[in-house]
């Protein structure tokens, strides 16, 4: 067992094009750092995120999945994030019910103006997932890298 | 009751109201009742069965049977819980209502043949309700089993004796049954530690052989083409090759029916591995009831399911964490 | 066989300083299907774009991946470049290695590794891109302006001048809005009515403008270029065509005690009335809540005196359906409720008034004929206290967090005019800050303070107590002198916060236009697209978008009109091809998708399918109108069978990105 090698989780962040992706861009413009293991996937709206994408990420080796969208009420498409909110609440509850660690999934509302919040959110999410260690409960052994 | 149903079916066939009858007949074993379509009074007389083993929910068969052009109306017998599945399918435009004559029938709960056989009762020939007991006819004579000890799990936690969306009723209309025991098992699992829950579900889901029986029987799983069979979906799988795929299949299946599942319990009934699949669906139902207000899928043919509606004040997904810590 | 070209931008040193660009090129060149990989200091420059175009032609690329700044910045640039080289623009993917990589990471090895992964994800997505062709939809060359205040009037006039027909829908019986109630305008002090009423008349006379006064928008459907709007023309009980506006009915009507809205209740009107002398249209309207004839069938006097025979007690609301290519929201503002601030005793004393009420009391056409008299006893006030920021810049629940923007200047105007006309009157202004950022604004304020001797006191009024002698005991703090003040005032004027019209929220829902938490309409971009709503075809004019004064409103109204004219001058609109589509073979027709679609873009068809056994079967299947769909993707997740997918962000593409990232 290697003692010195720190666990660096793989994090997939789904960001809606209009608010959170722009918020992520703003944290870049303002040079607000967050860990490099966060990789962003741009989606038009948080409501585009299918639960299968989240499970797929865990299958392929993600240790945490975060979904970011416009604040409720500010959706570019008016109502998209309201559906996201229900879907993800129920999905996360189900994952918890199956004994999957709660802190591996998260939904955050980040506006285009919240570069600071985006960076802070990513830092805190990475911290939480790092504390959990590698995803073992929802991984596909065939996809294991180590 | 069997004779009453037969008589009414004969009448409706004779009057030309319907051309076919969707009901039950005996399968390989007498406790192995299977759905069947009857086209004549003779067929009805010979094969139609209604007894304590008629758990099968007939609603799903209507998707095919009611869409046969030029075949006229089909009569279907719906127990209260089946009528909700029927209502949900009507709401989703899956059944041509004009081709169906739905007859609601009373139900005092269906027996679980495995529970009866576990009591050493073999050579089962038939079953009847008799007061507080089931009277089981066997090759070796009649046996008496109390209803409580023979009922299927889903009937022990029956949600309603009241029908939805029927054209006619046989017998008195029943009432809703309070949800006092329906969620007990879900709550028990919720109270466990995540590790215990993980072990529990791994133990259950690892038995899945991906026979697809749950999917095939489920009235809500009535897609023209299932995502798991469609290579373009990116998640198609023929067999669960890995614990992940077992989880994936059951999570997504439960998610796809969430808000639409009427808790008919057919998934668990047909599972050859006895995986308590209904506990996944019931978890969603419990969450929906608790978070978005009591909702019963299939109760009404209009309105929106909880997953395709919202309120501005809905709880945030972080409620999952908060609930756990309380 | 796909041929992908990868182009890595240095962005000067913005990317290259933190990301080893050459290493990214080398790594991505090894990816399957990549046939060309290069780097360049500025991909967005002309020579950078030429590099892309040349490679597309030379290597017959089937897809392009550009690792550069955010796609929100230059995706359009690169798509255009690809299109000009003959590649479908939607075969271009951008990996964001600046905002989401080089700018947030310091460690070069770490940033380079991440850039490679982001590049791989973009390649994985690009491999699944399909050439998309944007659909076209027609443009109805008519605009609707909702709201007939100065914002709506100016927008309508400018659109009409450009030759396009415009309809104005105004809920009140006349256009004119708040500006019609104002006495003078700052900082020029010209008479508000004198500059507004000619514009109102112009609206009435312009052949391209129709005015639906006393009307409301009932419903809106459709999309940019082809909206269908139902307008409710409320029953006036007066025939619009026959009425000559002579006003005889309004003089004879026996119901004399109806508070006059136009004068904010300082005087009364009749049950049949014309809001003010210069009203456009100048047509009488009967107030159904007050008219005896309509209430109990007893009277009919107006009908008897009307020589034109215009009175029609049987008139009912009429719903008119019209088609428009563009819709302008110009719903303006209201004065917020000052009764919430009990400390100012607004409800207890008639002599505590709002600034708009002050306008009516100083207006020559107002209830006092322009002589400033106290509402309580009609006497001339000798001490007047103006209180700024009543409800504005207020963090409390009852107030508004924003600055109402116009109050500092109109208060300076009020104070100055008062001192000019009544030099014997002492005028005090309590303020938090005096904000004068406008042309000639600060000069104006300084004149008020310095030349006209208005007492400006930085501080807050804590309490106003009406005294038995009719004066008001104003208890305040002077923050600069650090002392408590008590002023015995005859009149107190509250600069109440302005708030969006209460009808705006309902309208926003109909228009699917977004709003902020204060109910101001949200602009498509706060800096770069200030007069457009994020919803295509919906434009914003005036205070409905945020507080502004008259000159600002007029210039915004003009800008808004320019945008509308730009839209209406097109014969066809090119849509966004990244829209949803349904696979009919898999669709269950269950309506889940239509239930979540915010645009009503999904309809159902009964479609005949040939079955394997040569029979046919009719099934209900979803059909997406690509011109209406905005591409949010809500339907794709609602669909249990996976029949619904989104072009440009397909299920397989997103999963390919996931796979590439987690690889």
What digits encode the pLDDT tens for the residues C392-441? 999 888 999 999 999 999 999 999 999 999 999 999 999 999 999 999 99
- Per the prediction, chain A carries an average pLDDT of 91
Report d(CA C179, CA C188) in Å as an integer: 15
Per-residue pLDDT at A21: 94
Mean pLDDT over A39-61 rounds to 95
Return the CATH number of the domain spanning residue range C334-499. Answer: 3.50.50.60
Least confident of A40-54, B228-242, C287-301: B228-242
Is residue A143 one of the residues assigned to a domain? no
* C-beta atoms of A56 and C659 within 8 A: yes
CA distances from C56 to C53, C84, C121 (A): 5, 10, 20
Is the minimum CB–CB distance between A100 and chain B shorter than 8 Å? yes
Q: Which helix (H) or strand (E) holds A106?
A: strand A105-109
* C-beta atoms of B307 and A90 within 8 A: yes
* Helical spans, DSSP H, in chain B: 2-14, 41-47, 61-65, 80-91, 113-117, 147-150, 153-156, 184-191, 194-205, 213-217, 243-257, 266-270, 278-292, 319-325
pLDDT at A92 over 60: yes
> Which of the four pLDDT bands, split at 50, 70 and 90, describes residue C535?
confident
Helices B243-257 and A51-59 sit at what angle, rounded to 10 degrees? Answer: 170
Q: Which residues of chain A have a CB within 8 Å of the CB of C96? A: 25, 40, 42
Is the minimum CB–CB distance between B319 and chain A shorter than 8 Å? yes
Is the minimum CB–CB distance between B252 and chain A shorter than 8 Å? yes
Choice between C404 and B130, residue whose per-residue pLDDT is larger: C404
Mean pLDDT over C625-649 rounds to 92
In terms of residue numbers, what domain contains A89? 17-133
- Per the prediction, chain C carries an average pLDDT of 94
C363-405, pLDDT tens digit by residue?
Answer: 999 999 999 999 999 999 999 999 999 999 998 889 999 999 9
Is the minimum CB–CB distance between C241 and chain A shorter than 8 Å? no
- In angstroms, the separation between the Cα of residue C99 and the nearest Cα of chain B is 28
Which of C582, C586, C610, C620 is best to mutate for the B interface (most B CBs within 10 A)? C586
Is the minimum CB–CB distance between C578 and chain A shorter than 8 Å? yes
Find, among B289, B214, B204, B314, the residue nearest to B257 by Cα.
Answer: B214
- Per the prediction, chain B carries an average pLDDT of 90
> Which of the four pLDDT bands, split at 50, 70 and 90, describes residue A3?
very low
B window 108-127, beta carbon within 8 A of A: none
* C-beta atoms of A55 and B255 within 8 A: no
Which of A21, A24, A25 is best to mutate for the C interface (most C CBs within 10 A)? A25
> Which of the four pLDDT bands, split at 50, 70 and 90, describes residue A79?
confident
Q: What percent of chain C stands above pLDDT 90?
A: 89
Per-residue pLDDT at B324: 56
pLDDT at A77 over 60: yes
Nearest CA in chain A to B321: A102
Out of 3.30.1490.20, 3.30.420.40, 3.40.50.150, 3.50.50.60, the CATH code matching C143-234+317-332+501-568 is 3.50.50.60
* C-beta atoms of A52 and C655 within 8 A: yes
Is the minimum CB–CB distance between A44 and chain B shorter than 8 Å? no
Per-residue pLDDT at B67: 85
And the tokens for C181?
A: 């109630």
Least confident of B117-121, C143-147, C378-382: B117-121
Q: Which residues of chain B have a CB within 8 Å of the CB of A14? A: none
Q: In what order do the strands lie in the sheet with B20-26?
A: B33-38, B20-26, B74-78, B100-104, B168-169
* C-beta atoms of A48 and C72 within 8 A: no
And the tokens for C342?
A: 């009990």
And the tokens for B45?
A: 């007389």
Q: Which chains touch A (3 or more CB pairs under 8 A)?
A: B, C
* C-beta atoms of C632 and A48 within 8 A: yes
Is the minimum CB–CB distance between C113 and chain A shorter than 8 Å? yes
Q: Which residues of chain B have a CB within 8 Å of the CB of C651? A: 232-234
Report d(CA C554, CA C552) in Å as an integer: 5
Mean pLDDT over C566-584 rounds to 93
Q: Which chains touch B (3 or more CB pairs under 8 A)?
A: A, C
Helices C150-161 and C550-568 sit at what angle, rounded to 10 degrees? Answer: 40
- The conformation of residue B152, written as its DSSP 8-state character, comes to -
B251-281, pLDDT tens digit by residue?
Answer: 999 999 999 999 999 999 999 999 999 999 9
Neighbouring-strand partners of residue A13: A40, A66
Domain C4-127 has CATH 3.40.1010: no
Nearest CA in chain C to B226: C641
Dump strand ranges (E) for B164-300: 168-169
Report d(CA B194, CA B199) in Å as an integer: 9
Nearest CA in chain B to A96: B194
> Which of the four pLDDT bands, split at 50, 70 and 90, describes residue B174?
confident
Are the C-beta atoms of residues C186 and C205 closer than 8 Å to each other?
A: no
Per-residue pLDDT at A146: 63
A window 88-117, beta carbon within 8 A of C: none
- The conformation of residue B232, written as its DSSP 8-state character, comes to G
Is residue A66 one of the residues assigned to a domain? yes
* Domains identified in chain A, total number: 1
> Which of the four pLDDT bands, split at 50, 70 and 90, describes residue B28?
confident
Is residue A9 one of the residues assigned to a domain? no
Is the minimum CB–CB distance between A121 and chain C shorter than 8 Å? no
Q: What percent of chain C stands above pLDDT 70?
A: 100
C318-328, pLDDT tens digit by residue?
Answer: 999 999 999 99
Report the SS3 class of residue C472: strand
Q: Which residues of chain B have a CB within 8 Å of the CB of A90? A: 255, 258, 284, 287-288, 291, 307
A102-112, pLDDT tens digit by residue?
Answer: 999 999 999 88
Nearest CA in chain A to B200: A98
**Tally of CA atoms within 13 A in the half-sphere of A78 that contains its CB:** 18
Is the minimum CB–CB distance between C649 and chain A shorter than 8 Å? yes
Is residue A31 one of the residues assigned to a domain? yes
Q: Which chains touch C (3 or more CB pairs under 8 A)?
A: A, B
Tell me which residue in B222, B224, B309 faces C587 most closely, judged by beta carbons. B224
C69-79, pLDDT tens digit by residue?
Answer: 999 989 999 99
* C-beta atoms of A47 and C100 within 8 A: no
Mean pLDDT over B155-171 rounds to 90
State yes or no: ipTM above 0.90: yes
Nearest CA in chain B to C618: B67
* C-beta atoms of B69 and C591 within 8 A: no
Neighbouring-strand partners of residue A10: none
Choice between C546 and C533, residue whose per-residue pLDDT is larger: C546
- In angstroms, the separation between the Cα of residue C604 and the nearest Cα of chain A is 22
Is residue A84 one of the residues assigned to a domain? yes
C95-106, pLDDT tens digit by residue?
Answer: 999 999 999 999
Mean pLDDT over C461-477 rounds to 95
- In angstroms, the separation between the Cα of residue C597 and the nearest Cα of chain A is 9
* C-beta atoms of C121 and A39 within 8 A: yes
* C-beta atoms of C512 and A78 within 8 A: yes
Mean pLDDT over C201-218 rounds to 97
Tell me which residue in A34, A43, A143 faces C649 most closely, judged by beta carbons. A43
> Which of the four pLDDT bands, split at 50, 70 and 90, describes residue B2?
confident
- In angstroms, the separation between the Cα of residue A103 and the nearest Cα of chain C is 18
Q: Which helix (H) or strand (E) holds C205?
A: helix C192-205
Q: Which residues of chain A have a CB within 8 Å of the CB of B203? A: none
* C-beta atoms of A50 and C70 within 8 A: no
User: Same fold for the domain at C143-234+317-332+501-568 and the one at C334-499?
Assistant: yes
Are the C-beta atoms of residues C637 and B308 closer than 8 Å to each other?
A: no
C window 80-109, beta carbon within 8 A of A: 96, 98-101, 103-107
Q: Which residues of chain C have a CB within 8 Å of the CB of A79? A: 596, 598, 634
Report the SS3 class of residue C398: coil
Per-residue pLDDT at A1: 42
In total, the C-beta contacts within 8 angstroms joining chain A to chain B are 124
* C-beta atoms of A52 and B234 within 8 A: yes
Per-residue pLDDT at A2: 46
Architecture of domain C580-647 in CATH? Answer: 2-Layer Sandwich (3.30)
**pTM score, two decimals?**
0.74
C212-271, pLDDT tens digit by residue?
Answer: 999 999 999 888 899 999 999 999 999 999 999 999 999 999 999 999 999 999 999 999
Instruction: Indicate the domain borders of chain C.
Output: 4-127, 143-234+317-332+501-568, 248-305, 334-499, 580-647
Only one residue has tokens 């006309």, namely C421
Which of A87, A97, A129, A136 is best to mutate for the B interface (most B CBs within 10 A)? A97
- In angstroms, the separation between the Cα of residue C540 and the nearest Cα of chain A is 16
Is the minimum CB–CB distance between A78 and chain B shorter than 8 Å? no
């Amino acid at each position: 067992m290697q003692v010195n090698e720190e666990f660096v989780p793989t994090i997939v962040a789904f960001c809606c094009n209009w608010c959170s992706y722009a918020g992520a861009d703003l944290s870049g413009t303002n040079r607000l750092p967050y860990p490099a293991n966060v990789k962003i996937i741009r989606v038009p709206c948080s409501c585009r995120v299918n639960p299968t994408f989240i499970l797929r990420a865990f299958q392929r080796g993600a240790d945490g999945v975060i979904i970011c969208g416009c604040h409720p009420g500010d959706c570019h498409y008016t109502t998209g994030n309201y559906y996201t909110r229900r879907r993800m609440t129920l999905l996360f509850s189900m994952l918890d019910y199956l004994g999957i660690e709660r802190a591996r999934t998260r939904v955050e509302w980040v506006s285009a103006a919240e570069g600071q919040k985006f960076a802070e959110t990513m830092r805190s999410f990475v911290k939480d997932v790092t504390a959990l260690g590698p995803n073992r409960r929802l991984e596909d052994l065939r996809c294991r890298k180590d | 009751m069997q004779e009453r149903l037969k008589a009414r079916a004969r009448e409706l066939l004779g009057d030309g109201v319907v051309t076919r009858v969707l009901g039950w007949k005996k399968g390989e074993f007498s406790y192995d009742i299977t759905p069947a379509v009857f086209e004549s009074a003779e067929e009805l007389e010979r094969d139609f069965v209604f007894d304590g083993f008629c758990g099968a929910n007939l609603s799903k068969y209507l998707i095919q049977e009611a869409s046969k052009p030029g075949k006229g109306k089909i009569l279907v017998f719906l127990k209260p819980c089946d009528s909700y599945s029927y209502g949900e399918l009507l709401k989703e435009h899956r059944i041509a209502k004009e081709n169906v004559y739905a007859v609601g029938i009373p139900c005092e709960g269906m027996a679980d043949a495995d529970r009866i056989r576990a009591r050493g009762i073999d050579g089962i020939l038939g079953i009847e309700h008799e007061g507080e007991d089931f009277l089981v006819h066997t090759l070796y004579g009649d046996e008496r089993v109390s209803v409580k000890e023979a009922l299927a799990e889903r009937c022990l936690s029956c949600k309603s004796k009241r029908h939805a969306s029927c054209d006619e009723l046989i017998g008195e209309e029943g009432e809703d049954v309070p949800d006092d025991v329906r969620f007990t098992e879900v709550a028990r699992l919720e109270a466990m530690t995540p590790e215990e829950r993980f072990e529990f579900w791994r133990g259950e889901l690892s038995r899945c052989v991906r026979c697809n029986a749950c999917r095939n029987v489920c009235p809500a799983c009535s897609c023209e083409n299932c995502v798991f069979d469609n290579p373009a979906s990116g998640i198609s799988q023929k067999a669960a090759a890995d614990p992940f795929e077992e989880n994936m299949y059951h999570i997504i299946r439960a998610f796809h029916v969430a808000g639409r599942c009427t808790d008919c319990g057919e998934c668990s009934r047909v599972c050859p591995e006895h995986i308590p699949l209904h506990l996944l669906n019931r978890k969603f139902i419990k969450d929906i009831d608790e978070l978005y207000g009591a909702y019963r899928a299939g109760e009404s043919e209009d309105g929106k399911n909880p997953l395709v509606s919202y309120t501005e004040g809905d709880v945030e997904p972080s409620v999952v964490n908060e609930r756990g810590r309380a | 066989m796909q041929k992908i070209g990868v182009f890595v931008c240095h962005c000067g040193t913005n990317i290259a300083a933190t990301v080893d660009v050459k290493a990214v090129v080398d790594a991505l060149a090894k990816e399957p299907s990549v046939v060309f990989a290069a780097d360049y200091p500025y991909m967005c420059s002309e020579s950078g774009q030429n590099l892309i175009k040349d490679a597309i032609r030379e290597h017959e690329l089937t897809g392009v991946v550009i690792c550069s700044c955010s796609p929100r910045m230059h995706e359009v640039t690169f798509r255009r470049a690809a299109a000009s080289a003959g590649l479908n623009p939607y075969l271009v993917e951008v990996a964001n290695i600046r905002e989401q990589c080089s700018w947030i990471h310091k460690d070069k090895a770490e940033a380079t590794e991440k850039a490679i992964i982001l590049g791989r994800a973009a390649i994985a997505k690009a491999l699944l891109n399909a050439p998309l062709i944007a659909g076209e939809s027609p443009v109805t060359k008519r605009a609707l302006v909702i709201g007939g205040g100065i914002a709506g009037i100016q927008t309508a006039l400018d659109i009409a001048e450009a030759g396009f027909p415009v309809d104005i829908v105004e809920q009140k019986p006349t256009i004119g809005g708040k500006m019609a109630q104002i006495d003078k305008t700052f900082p020029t002090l010209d008479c508000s009515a004198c500059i507004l009423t000619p514009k109102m008349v112009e609206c009435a006379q312009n052949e391209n403008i129709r005015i639906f006064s006393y009307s409301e928008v009932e419903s809106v459907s459709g999309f940019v270029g082809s909206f269908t709007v139902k307008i409710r023309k409320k029953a006036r009980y007066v025939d619009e065509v026959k009425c000559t506006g002579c006003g005889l009915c309004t003089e004879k009507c026996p119901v004399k005690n109806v508070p006059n809205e136009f004068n904010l209740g300082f005087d009364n009107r009749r049950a049949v009335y014309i809001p003010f002398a210069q009203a456009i249209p100048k047509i009488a309207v009967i107030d159904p809540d007050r008219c005896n004839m309509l209430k109990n069938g007893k009277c009919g006097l107006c009908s008897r005196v009307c020589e034109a025979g215009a009175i029609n007690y049987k008139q009912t609301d009429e719903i008119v359906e019209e088609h428009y290519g563009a819709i302008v929201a110009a719903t303006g503002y209201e004065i917020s409720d000052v009764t919430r601030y009990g400390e100012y005793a607004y409800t207890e004393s008639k002599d505590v008034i709002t600034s708009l009420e002050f306008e009516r009391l100083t207006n020559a056409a107002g209830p006092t004929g322009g002589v400033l008299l106290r509402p309580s006893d009609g006497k001339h006030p000798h001490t007047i206290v103006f209180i700024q920021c009543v409800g504005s810049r207020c963090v409390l629940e009852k107030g508004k967090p924003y600055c109402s923007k116009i109050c500092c200047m109109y208060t300076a105007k009020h104070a100055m005019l008062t001192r000019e006309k009544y030099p014997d009157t002492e005028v005090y202004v309590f303020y938090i800050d005096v904000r004068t950022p406008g042309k000639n604004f600060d000069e104006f304020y300084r004149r008020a303070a310095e030349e006209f001797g208005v007492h400006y006191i930085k501080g807050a009024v804590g309490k106003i107590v009406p005294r038995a002698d009719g004066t008001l005991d104003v208890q305040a703090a002077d923050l600069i002198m650090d002392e408590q003040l008590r002023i015995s005032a005859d009149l107190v004027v509250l600069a109440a916060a302005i708030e969006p019209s209460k009808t705006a929220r309902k309208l926003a829902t109909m228009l699917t236009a977004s709003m902020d938490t204060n109910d101001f309409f949200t602009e498509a971009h706060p800096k770069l697209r200030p007069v457009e709503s994020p919803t295509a075809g919906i434009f914003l004019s005036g205070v409905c978008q945020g507080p502004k004064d008259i000159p600002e409103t007029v210039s915004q109204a003009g800008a808004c009109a320019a945008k509308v004219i730009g839209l209406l001058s097109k014969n066809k609109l090119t849509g966004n091809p990244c829209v949803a589509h349904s696979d009919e073979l898999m669709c269950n027709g269950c309506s889940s998708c239509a239930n979540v679609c915010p645009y009503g873009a999904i309809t159902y068809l009964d479609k005949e399918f040939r079955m394997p056994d040569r029979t046919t079967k009719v099934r209900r299947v979803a059909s997406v109108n690509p011109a209406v769909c905005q591409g949010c993707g809500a339907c794709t997740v609602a669909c249990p069978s996976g029949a619904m997918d989104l072009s440009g962000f397909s299920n397989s593409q997103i999963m390919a990105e996931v796979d590439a990232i987690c690889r």
